[in-house]
Amino acid sequence: GGAGCGGSNIAASRGVGHGGVRNVDELDDEYLEVKWPVHGWIRTSSLAPREDITDIDASGDFIAEGSLLERMYHSRRQYTGCSPLGMSAISSQKLSDTLAMYDAMFGTLSIVGHGGCQVTHGAFLVDDVPRKWWPPGYEDWAHHSFLVFDDGSIADMTADQFDEALPQLWWPADHRRYALTDAKADAADAARKR
């Protein structure tokens, strides 16, 4: 499985498949084991061809992204559990604590290169396609917690509670789906109660 108890929807680079298969086009819709940055399984149909894997700078962005995804994966496994529903605040706080601890020991935040981070108790845009039954001007925001880095990038381990098509480990998350305060979620709650 992935970071939670269900299937994996963690992005991964193409690697060598089982039986020495090196071309993703040769594979049926089966699963390949991913060892790094997080251990799990990924559908071969979700892989995209890319240039030779040796072209990746092992000292640059690849290692940085992997370091953050690895910390997100372990935090989700340890603190979020099988279901992300209602777990955004504790999961985000534990990820923040973990990153602070790993930064003190290994300089993880410096390696990641997006500055410090803080837990933000804001809002998430659940559905951006208006529905016929919505009141005029309604926007479907929900209360949600996530990490915001100094450069404005967002890491979210529980966005999939709103839509299982979203990654379990969303980095960098689409900033258009986030509000840094809970005012929009409060307004949506009030509109739903009317």
Long-range contacts for 172-176 (Cβ within 8 Å, ≥24 apart)?
Answer: 173/146, 176/125
Chain segment 14-72, per-residue pLDDT in tens: 333 334 444 445 545 576 667 666 666 666 766 666 555 555 555 566 677 788 888 99
Cβ count near 36 (within 10 Å): 13
CA nearest neighbour of 66 among 118, 15, 30, 1: 15
The strand ranges marked E within 29-158 are 31-34, 40-43, 117-127, 140-149, 154-155
Q: Hey, what are 91's tokens? A: 């999961």
Give the global pTM: 0.72
Chain segment 157-167, per-residue pLDDT in tens: 999 999 988 99
